[in-house]
Every structure is written in C-alpha cells, then in structure tokens.
Amino acid sequence: MQQTLRQLYQQLLKHYGKQYWWPAKSPFEVMVGAILTQNTSWRNVEMAIVNLKQARCLSPQKICQLNVEELAQLIKSSGFHTVKAKRLQAYCAWYVAQGGLKKLKRFKTQRLRAELLKIHGIGPETADAMLLYAFLRPVFVIDAYTKRILQRLGWIQGMEDYETLRALFEQNLKPDVNVFNEYHALLVQHAKHVCRTKPLCQQCHLYAKLCPAVSGN
C-alpha cells in the first residue's frame, strides 16, 4: 500500500502539476476559509472572504465583536450563513482566548487537534485542514473526494470511517507537510475531472496506470 499510495501521488502530480494550496494570504485566512468551505464550493467562499476583507473584518477580534447577524450577512454567499457565523465566532473566541497564533503554534499536534475538535462546528476534516494548511502539521486531510477516488480504484470498500482513512495515508507515507499538502489538493483537483456517479470511468488516465486489472488493460 505504501507503494501504491506513492504511485497515485506521482501520477496525479505528473498530470495536474503542483496546486499551491491553500489559496489564502495568512494562516488565519486559511482557518476562516476552512470553516466557510464546509459542504460548499470554493467559489462561494471566495466571495465571502472578499466581503470580510472589504469590511475590514477578517481578524479574530473583529469577528468576535460583530454581532452574528452582521457577520452572517458578510458571509452570506458561502451558504449556511447563520450556522457558519456562529461557528466562526466560536472558533475566534477560542483562538483569542488561547492567546493567538504564536501561542497555538507551541501546541503539539495531537493536543492541538484534540482542542480544535472540542470547538462547536469544527469536525475532523475542518480541524485537519487547519492543522495542515494553517499550522503546517503533517496531518492528512480526508474528504468525500478522497474516499470516492480510493473506492473507484478498488483500494477500499467505502464503509471505512474518517480516522481509518486518515491512518491509511499517515501510516503509509512519510510525514511530509509539503507532500500531504499537494496530495490532498491533487485529489480534490482530480475529483473535479471524473464522473461523480459512474463507478468507473474508463477514460480516466489513472486506472490504466494504477490498477490494470480493473481497467481491463
């Protein structure tokens, strides 16, 4: 499995090139984006972030100070805005209470992950996206795309839970922040180019290279 996961990475990288994630100018912007993009296309999130910047509200303090209705209006384009406004404030309240980025960077990864998961509205994927793309920790982010692609390749059943899949990657790859960064981004990129419904896409260049038995070659 170590070899196949590595081959998948090489194939994706060769085909799509580097993705240079996360599209944000600061760690805090990554964190905000991670919450806003929950079950939402990145397009809609970008508009919300632009609104926050124009209103000069893209800081933990400002987000805490705004009332929820105002905040919800600013992020309206990202969908679920009433829910996400609360989540942003819950996250920023914690962020400020912990003393900001300098203090948080001192946390060990395990501890930081556990603390993030206690925050209302921060689940495993959002926490891991923050850990990898904002805190630069070697944590592999699993999402629906990752699961679907592995299933199409015939490498998993599809019933595995989040932690099982995360362990699959983390235990079979060297803990390299740059590789984990590109790998997850490449899986997202690839998922946009393959059929969502059909169990197998014959034209997909990956299958011939990675599982000839399945692709029929």
Site string for DNA, 43-62 (x = CB under 7 A): xx--x---------------
Asked if residue 63 lies in contact with residue 35, where contact means CB atoms within 8 angstroms, the answer is: no
Residue 70 or residue 217: which is nearer to DNA going by CB? Answer: 70
Q: Report DSSP letters for 47-111, one per residue.
A: HHHHHHHHTT--SHHHHHHS-HHHHHHHTGGGSSHHHHHHHHHHHHHHHHHTTSHHHHTTS-HHH
Q: Which is nearer to DNA, 129 or 153 (CB)?
A: 129
> For residue 70, what are the CA distances in angstroms to 142, 148, 149?
32, 37, 39
Neighbours of 197 (CB within 10 A): 4
Candidates 5, 62, 80, 177: give the one binding DNA (CB under 7 A): 80
Shortest distance, position 80 Cβ to DNA, whole Å: 4
40 phi/psi in degrees, rounded to 5: -145, 140
CA distance 96 to 192: 36
CA-CA distance, 25 to 45, in Å (whole number)? 14
Q: The tokens of 25 are what?
A: 């100018």
Q: How far is the CB of 28 from DNA (least distance, A)?
A: 14
82 binds DNA (CB under 7 A): yes
Residue 9 touches DNA, criterion: CB under 7 A: no
How many other C-beta atoms can be found within 10 angstroms of the C-beta atom of residue 49? 23
Nearer to DNA, 94 or 145 (CB): 145
Residue 79 within binding range of DNA, rule CB under 7 A: yes
**Pair of tokens at residue 114:** 């556990």
Task: Work out how close the CB of 216 gets to DNA at its nearest, in angstroms, rounded to a whole number.
Answer: 26
Confirm or reject binding of residue 125 to DNA (CB under 7 A). yes
5, 6, 40, 115: residue in contact with DNA (rule CB under 7 A)? 40
- What x-and-dash track marks residues 196-215 binding DNA by CB under 7 A? xx------------------
Q: Which residues bind DNA (CB under 7 A)?
A: 21-23, 33-34, 37-44, 47, 76-77, 79-84, 120-127, 129, 133, 143-145, 161, 188, 192, 196-197
